[in-house]
Chains A and B, each alone.
Chain A
Amino acid sequence: DAGVIQSPRHEVTEMGQEVTLRCKPISGHDYLFWYRQTMMRGLELLIYFNNNVPIDDSGMPEDRFSAKMPNASFSTLKIQPSEPRDSAVYFCASSFGGAAYNEQFFGPGTRLTVL
């Protein structure tokens, strides 16, 4: 299995532009998580899906952020408009079963830089 796949690996954009991050979870996994890692806040959960349905988006910082999961093999995280403070590494993770007692498998991350 290829593991969790994220694209792009690096994204540099200018303030005000729309950014779309993509994730392909491990086949058969029914949970998908989006995280953001920054120096100040560490690794924080943004949103997670179960069977393609968003369950908890309380970690999404503001309305500029949105996430979708149109099918079991694809999810996107969109930032519109982007701001310099959105610069971070964004991780996607998937698991079979919820976070309770089930290992989450992380993708390599997308490093986003907003100028």
Chain B
Amino acid sequence: DQQVKQNSPSLSVQEGRISILNCDYTNSMFDYFLWYKKYPAEGPTFLISISSIKDKNEDGRFTVFLNKSAKHLSLHIVPSQPGDSAVYFCAANRDDKIIFGKGTRLHILP
């Protein structure tokens, strides 16, 4: 049972445009959400997070939006750059565990 769902396995975006990665979750008890980024042959690295008491968190080109009523969050990357090509994992925290989605592969096109 996937508690964190990333329904788009891949996404292609033109360089300079906005990339929007989506994530849905089923457990309303999650209190913290995270995005991790993964390059090939490397481990995931933390990108940005948001507490369940907020609806937006921004860090440079990266903004995460949380819609608790819809149990949905999204990651916006503006503007998209070639180095953003990677797999992005949405994750949710409860207690001491993080539950990850399956990931979305983002391709930034020149």
Interface residue ranges, A against B (CB under 8 Å): 4, 31, 33, 35, 41-45, 48, 50, 55-56, 91, 93, 98-101, 103-109
**Do the beta carbons of B95 and A106 come within 8 Å of each other?**
no
Question: Cα distance A109–B97 when bound, in Å?
Answer: 19
Contact of A43 with B31 at beta-carbon distance under 8 Å, contacts A56-B97, A100-B95, A100-B96 already known? no
**Do the beta carbons of B43 and A93 come within 8 Å of each other?**
yes
**Do the beta carbons of B43 and A99 come within 8 Å of each other?**
no
Q: Which 3 A-B pairs have the closest CB atoms?
A: A106-B43, A42-B102, A98-B96
CB pairs A–B below 8 angstroms (16 shown)? A4-B43, A31-B96, A42-B89, A42-B101, A43-B89, A43-B100, A45-B99, A48-B96, A91-B43, A99-B96, A99-B97, A99-B98, A100-B95, A104-B46, A108-B43, A109-B41
Q: Which residues of B contact A56 (CB under 8 A)?
A: 96-97
Question: Cα distance A106–B32 when bound, in Å?
Answer: 19
Complex: chain A residue closest to B2, CB-CB: A42
B93 is an interface residue with CB less than 8 A from chain A: yes
**Do the beta carbons of B97 and A45 come within 8 Å of each other?**
yes
